[in-house]
Amino acid sequence: MPALLAFRALSVAAFAAGFAAIAAAIVSRALANNETFAWVGSLTGFGLKFGLVGLAASVGTFFVMPRRTDLLRSVRGQEDPPLGTPLILLLVALAAIAMMQVPSTLAWAREELSILRSGLGLGSDPLGLNVVPMTIVLFLPALAALTVVLYIITSLLGIVAPSKLAGRVLGSGVLVQLGYVAAGLIVIQEMRAIGTALTPLLADDPTATREVSEWIARHDAAASATSRRLAWTCLGYVIAAVTAYTSRAADRADAVPTTTIEPSPVRSVAVQTVSHTAVLAVSSAAVEFNESSYSVHPRMTLIESWFTRTCTHFEIRTIPHRTRNWFSFSWDTGVLRHEPSGAELLRLRPAKPPGLFLNHTYEVVDPGSGQTIAKFIPRGSDWEIEDACGNIAGRVLRHANAFGPLKYRAFVGDAEVCQFKWALAGLSVSSAQLEIVFLDRASAAPGLDRGIIVSISPILEQQARIANEPRN
């Protein structure tokens, strides 16, 4: 989701700016002991305040924002009621208010540039040193523009995210917004302090004193108005986040089941309910996979191992290995075979491995009849398994943490039937393989076709390798 990536980038920018400000504060405090750089000591307090605000905002949103997989997936078919209409209208209105501040932000930037030009004059700048003061004066307008972008992204994420996570999404957005708004106010206050400190030093030069006073007045007029509007807009998002959280809490309270006692009717009428459950057609490959554990080991060539980091051919064996029971898969044909006979069991169409950023929708074809018996539909980092009629028959959900290896878990309904784990089989990543473990309750799961579960393993192995190799 591009909006989520942009939000992450703004959060990382706040963290980087906060870390740099604290580092600068530490350096300035060390330099203040030298008489030559004694004036730098006044920047220590500013750097600490700016840094703590940036770090607090970025670290706070790291813990509050849900994981990307939770935002993009529909977990096991759980119902997700739509976001309330008043809250949607509030988020749309706040985004519109934020967009209305774009002209004033651009006017602020033009005003700062005109002040800078009047101070620097129209002379040539062969060394390009004017870039330094230009960057300084445009910092606040740029920060205001990023805050406007952050407002719009927060509204978009709050609307498209699952309603059960809307409170956390808006809360994390508010944390970053508060960091940006507070950082802008801190910079404005510091620039006022600098102007106040310069006035007595320029008392002997009336022209310089007048120019500094004029610059401070024009700067405050442009900065204060825009900062106030941004702060009021941030307050609107605080209200939206509180509303989303309280409405979710009210929904959870309403969902608590209550037990009522009703009088027994004189005559009871049997009511028969019909449930439509997706059931996969049993493939000829289902009976071939009768063991509980399998390994999907890539047979990578030297070029694939060193450069492309992808694999074309796989060996699928039982754990522990047995010569009489092993299988192969190749992306050249998309065929899952029984070895050593070479009999075709299932075929994936198209015969293309998943890419680094884009995934394909795959059809599972029975080679004997040529009919499609299942489909693998990408859902963010997860996969849905559909039957021939388009009903959801199962899900493969990605589970990852910051330290352990990436895993996948397969569900049929609410029952977990299989786990996929990418693990090292030797000392290097070239020896890694994907392990498939069918759980004990998998045999009782309705509609489970082990052949189809195994046929998705080359897809998962490629994705797991891309995600896990940087950690190893």
Neighbours of 235 (CB within 10 A): 15
Q: In the prediction, which pLDDT does 444 show? A: 53
Domain count across the chain: 2
Question: Is 264 among the domain residues?
Answer: no
* Percent over 90 (pLDDT), the chain: 12
Q: Are residues 228 and 290 in the same domain?
A: no
So what's the pLDDT on residue 387? 86
Residues 339, 449, single domain; the answer is yes
Same domain, 111 and 204: yes
Q: Does some domain include residue 95?
A: yes
The proportion of the chain whose per-residue pLDDT surpasses 70, expressed as a percent, equals 71
Are 156 and 33 in the same domain?
yes
Q: Examine the fold and report which residue of 254, 271, 298 is the final residue of a domain before the chain moves on.
A: 254
317 with 394, same domain: the answer is: yes
Residues 349 and 201 occupy one common structural domain: no
- Read off the pLDDT band of 415 (50, 70, 90): confident
Examine residue 292 and state whether it is found in any structural domain, yes or no: yes
What pLDDT, in 10s, does the model give residues 231-242?
Answer: 899 999 999 999
User: For position 153, what pLDDT does the model report?
Assistant: 92
Mean pLDDT of 6-26: 87
Residues 239 and 296 both lie in one domain: no
- Is residue 63 in a domain? yes
State pLDDT tens for residues 161-176.
888 888 888 999 999 9
Residue 370 has pLDDT above 70, yes or no: yes
Q: How far is CA 212 from CA 118, 139, 191, 200, in A?
A: 11, 19, 11, 11
Indicate whether this model's pTM tops 0.95.
Answer: no
Tell me the CB-side half-sphere exposure of residue 64, using CA atoms within 13 A: 20
Same domain, residue pair 17 and 125: yes
Distance of CA 12 to the CA centre of its chain: 12
Domain carrying residue 397: 286-471
Last residue of a domain, one of 207, 236, 254: 254
Q: What is the mean pLDDT of residues 181-189?
A: 86
Q: Is residue 47 part of a domain?
A: yes
Domain boundary among the residues 239, 254, 269 is at 254
Whether 392 shows a pLDDT value over 50: the answer reads yes
Confidence of residue 292 (pLDDT cuts 50, 70, 90): confident
Confidence of residue 152 (pLDDT cuts 50, 70, 90): very high
| Confidence band, pLDDT 50/70/90 cuts, at residue 1 | low
**Based on the domain organization, do 467 and 338 belong to the same domain?**
yes
Instruction: Using alpha carbons, select from 73, 63, 58, 65 the residue that is nearest to residue 19.
Output: 58
Any domain includes 273:
no
In the predicted model, what is the mean pLDDT of residues 277-301?
75
209, with CB counted inside 10 A (0-12, 13-18, 19+), is middle
Same domain for 211 and 360, yes or no, is no
β 335-339/343-349 pair status:
antiparallel
pLDDT at 130: 57
Which pair of structure tokens corresponds to residue 49? 């305040």
Q: Is there a single domain that holds both residue 246 and residue 316?
A: no
Which pLDDT band holds residue 93 (cuts at 50, 70, 90)? very high
Beta bridge partner(s), residue 348:
364
Residues 317 and 245 both lie in one domain: no
As a whole number of Å, the end-to-end CA separation of the chain is 27
